[in-house]
Copies of this chain bind each other. A is one copy, B any other.
Amino acid sequence: MRIVALAGGVGAGKFLRGLQRIALDEGHDLTVIVNTADDIEMWGLHVSPDLDSVVYWLAGAMDRERGWGRAGETFHAREALEAGNMLPTWFAIGDRDLATHLFRTELLRKGWTLTAATASVALAFEIPWTILPMTDDRVTTMVRIRESDHLVHDVHFQDYWVRRRAEPEVRAVRFEGAVRARPAPGVLDAIGGADAVVICPSNPVVSIGPILAVPRVRDALWQRRDRAVGISPIVGGAVLAGMADRLMPVAGLEVSALGAATAYEGLLAGWVIDEADGDLAPKIEERLGIRVAVTETVMSDDEVAAAVARTALDLLG
């Protein structure tokens, strides 16, 4: 079976470890299409947080406790930059993580596409799957924040999320460059040929939203809607990590397993929600006309993640 997953960062990473286990056990092929709209240039390097999260989690190189970055990481370069007041250090890059960014940046500087650079990063971490950026073009999530009556302005997603700790009031989210972006090579073919499309439990607004905003991707997914399933990133009306609770209302979405499903209206045949949200199942099934499975979705380990993936795939029959 050919499985295509749409992924953001940490939540996707946890889930993908489970999906990967099933793919290995059962001999499936796996392609992961990853959000790149929160990529940022930092210290002169091209940083792709979601691509790296997916790679690190699939490779088992992630820091499971912290969620982001690599296991056993140190931050000596960052500390030196900070001590000398050399470059901004609000965006933490670990020393081992730096290696990935140095490598990617060097390949891009040589003229490689992000797709090709990503394949090389995946190879370096011995990932046996296809990891694709959603696009090779520059798409950037910009967040319009209100800092005072007189200061409403657009900042890079990382500026909002990491530097300002998601504290400012958000007025809007937009994906700069999306209308002119082209899907990365392989993205449309992968979706078109998928036996199963899985939307990972990622932020529907700023993780999966940018992927859907790349022209022709939504249409390709719509074609495969009968083979598409998603996992709710909202459990008990709250986020497990991240700031979806603050951004979903801006996008007109209720912060619930129903609201998250609504973000993918028309694109899904099935939706997996947590036991905490079991009473929402009939409502979601009725409103969106899709099958809903209720299971434990808080992925404290790979065992649970594999069970969630199993449940998701089973929804497709």
Which of B43, B44, B102 meets A81, CB within 8 Å?
Answer: B102
Q: Which residues of B contact A95 (CB under 8 A)?
A: 74, 76-77, 80, 95, 98
Once the chains bind, are A87 and B106 in contact (CB under 8 Å)? yes
Which of B44, B76, B100, B109 meets A76, CB within 8 Å?
Answer: B76
In the complex, per-residue mask of A73-111: 1 if CB is within 8 Å of any chain B CB, else 0:
110111111001111000000111111101101100100
A125 within 8 A of B: yes
Residues of A contacting B: mostly: helix
Once the chains bind, are B74 and A87 in contact (CB under 8 Å)? no
A125 to B85, CA, bound (A): 9
A124 within 8 A of B: yes
Once the chains bind, are B84 and A125 in contact (CB under 8 Å)? yes
Closest-by-CB residue of B relative to A87 is B103
Which of B79, B106, B120, B121 meets A44, CB within 8 Å?
Answer: B106
Closest-by-CB residue of B relative to A43 is B102
A50 to B128, CA, bound (A): 43
Q: A44-B106, A87-B106 are in contact. List 14 more A-B contacts (CB 8 A).
A: A43-B106, A44-B105, A73-B76, A74-B76, A74-B95, A76-B94, A77-B77, A77-B99, A79-B96, A81-B102, A86-B99, A86-B121, A87-B102, A87-B103
Interface-centre pick from A74, A80, A94, A97 (highest chain B CB count, 10 A) = A80
Interface-centre pick from A79, A106, A125 (highest chain B CB count, 10 A) = A106
Once the chains bind, are A80 and B96 in contact (CB under 8 Å)? yes
